[in-house]
């Protein structure tokens, strides 16, 4: 696998999806069997993966099976919950304690680990000794919203490798600079993103959006750049990504990246909408919409809402496979709706493409409203 590649797999079976990614990455061909390997999930709170907050345990279980099958002996799971919550509870609630017992892979609670002080770009921080002594770090973030940084994925998930006092410092410094600095000291060697049902707005979950996909890459900056586009963000919305690029962590060059889809998004969405997701759904007319397609639309609508534009969307949006081959009036999302008056192409289109398309439609409407007699 090359650093400018991202592998995408769709589906709702985390085990087979993880297996497909690992086989394609062919980890065993380039990671020495003696390597000390750390798996860094996201267990920021003691909540199950279904809430949209934490990494699905099947992903961790499957990676461990793969590593065992290929004779890797030194593997551990390393994580810390946010300040005020117990990592041990997070391990238990998500069944990581059972995975550890069954596989013999130890759980390392960073809150109880030793730390080494490191300084980068003028910021001194305490980082888990286990992480710094790791030869191959597999980061397993959840792609989801965040109330302070807009989005969290690979780069921000590394914050769980810090002491609680350094986490406090990061918040005091506004998160963006220190997150980029931390990744310039140690970033992941491989990122496998859980984007099965990450939360729309908050890292602690509660409004999961089912997108039924996972993706992987070697470059944390590229992975986050891609994740941002799937959630409908411009890079300017998430300053730590470009800062990390400036600090030499990786590249934001999505335009020249190779996005390799291992299968197509064919799963019909089975929504379990809560709160804000249900509100956003009111703007849609789904009919057999694939999960990633519909999830991207929900994220796009959330971005428009944050900018105060959703109120100006005066029609419902067609989306789904049942619109394929049909023609009609109105706006469509995805290639299936190419027979409608206007549509955003893509199968599935990224959320950022949907945002730009709808912004153009809304601004065109404003312009025609402002011309007298039109």
Binding site for ligand SF4 (CB under 6 A): 265, 289-290, 293, 320-321, 334-336, 347-348
Nearer to ligand SF4, 10 or 136 (CB): 10
Q: How far is the CB of 227 from ligand SF4 (least distance, A)?
A: 18
In angstroms, what is the minimal distance from the CB of 141 to ligand SF4?
Answer: 23
What is the β-pairing status of strands 144-146 and 150-152?
Answer: antiparallel
Minimum CB–partner distance for residue 300 and ligand SF4 (Å): 13
Nearer to ligand SF4, 147 or 345 (CB): 345
Measured from the CB atom, the residue of 35 and 347 that comes closer to ligand SF4 is: 347
Considering the complex, state which of residue 147 and residue 259 has its C-beta at the smaller distance from ligand SF4.
259
Q: 66 vs 21, 61, 148, CA distance in Å?
A: 11, 9, 36
For the CB of residue 354, give the shortest distance to ligand SF4 in the complex, in Å: 11
To ligand SF4, the closest distance from the beta carbon of 191 in angstroms equals: 24
**39 vs 351 by CB, closer to ligand SF4:** 351
Q: List the beta strands (DSSP E) in 283-356.
A: 284-286, 317-319, 328-333, 340-344
CB closer to ligand SF4, 108 vs 289: 289
Q: Indicate if the alpha-carbon torsion angle 326, 332, 337, 338 is positive or negative.
A: positive
Evaluate whether 293 touches 268 at the Cβ level (below 8 Å): no
Nearest to 82 by CA among 178, 149, 167, 151: 167
CA-closest candidate to residue 171, choices 205, 203, 140, 137: 203
User: Do 57 and 99 touch, CB atoms closer than 8 A?
Assistant: yes
Shortest distance, position 284 Cβ to ligand SF4, whole Å = 12
For 285, counting Cβ atoms within 10 Å of its Cβ (0-12 exposed, 13-18 middle, 19+ buried), the class is middle
Q: By beta-carbon distance, which residue lies closest to ligand SF4?
A: 334
């Amino acid at each position: 696998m090359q650093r400018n590649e991202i592998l995408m797999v769709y589906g709702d079976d985390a085990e087979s999806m993880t297996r497909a990614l690992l086989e394609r990455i062919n980890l065993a061909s380039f990671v020495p069997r003696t390597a000390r390997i750390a798996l860094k999930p996201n267990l920021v709170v003691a909540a199950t993966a279904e809430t949209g907050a934490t990494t699905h345990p099947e992903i961790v279980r499957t990676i461990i099976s793969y590593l065992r099958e290929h004779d890797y002996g030194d593997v551990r799971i390393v994580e810390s919950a946010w300040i005020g919550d117990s990592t041990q509870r997070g391990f238990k609630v998500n069944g990581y304690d059972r995975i550890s017992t069954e596989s013999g892979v130890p759980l390392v609670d960073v809150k109880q680990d030793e730390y080494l002080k490191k300084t980068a770009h003028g910021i001194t921080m305490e980082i888990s000794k286990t992480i710094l002594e790791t030869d191959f770090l597999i980061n397993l973030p959840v792609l989801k919203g965040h109330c302070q940084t807009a989005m969290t994925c690979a780069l921000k998930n590394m914050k769980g490798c810090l002491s609680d006092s350094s986490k406090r410092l990061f918040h005091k410094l506004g998160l963006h600079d220190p997150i980029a600095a931390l990744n310039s000291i140690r970033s992941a060697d491989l990122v496998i993103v859980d984007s099965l049902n990450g939360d729309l707005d908050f890292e602690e979950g509660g409004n999961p959006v089912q997108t039924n996909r996972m993706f992987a890459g070697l470059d944390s900056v590229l992975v986050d750049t891609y994740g941002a586009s799937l959630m409908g963000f411009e890079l300017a919305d998430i300053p730590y990504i470009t800062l990390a690029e400036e600090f030499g962590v990786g590249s934001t060059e999505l335009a020249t990246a190779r996005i390799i889809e291992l299968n197509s998004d064919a799963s019909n969405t089975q929504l379990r909408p809560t709160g804000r997701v249900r509100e956003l759904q009111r703007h849609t007319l789904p009919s057999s919409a694939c999960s990633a397609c519909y999830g991207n639309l929900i994220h796009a609508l959330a971005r428009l809402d944050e900018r105060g534009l959703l109120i100006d969307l005066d029609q419902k949006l067609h989306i789904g496979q049942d619109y394929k081959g049909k023609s009609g009036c109105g706006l469509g999302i995805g290639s299936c709706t190419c027979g409608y008056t206007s549509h955003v192409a893509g199968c599935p289109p990224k959320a950022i493409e949907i945002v730009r398309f709808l912004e153009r439609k809304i601004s065109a409407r404003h312009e025609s409203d402002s011309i007298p007699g039109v």
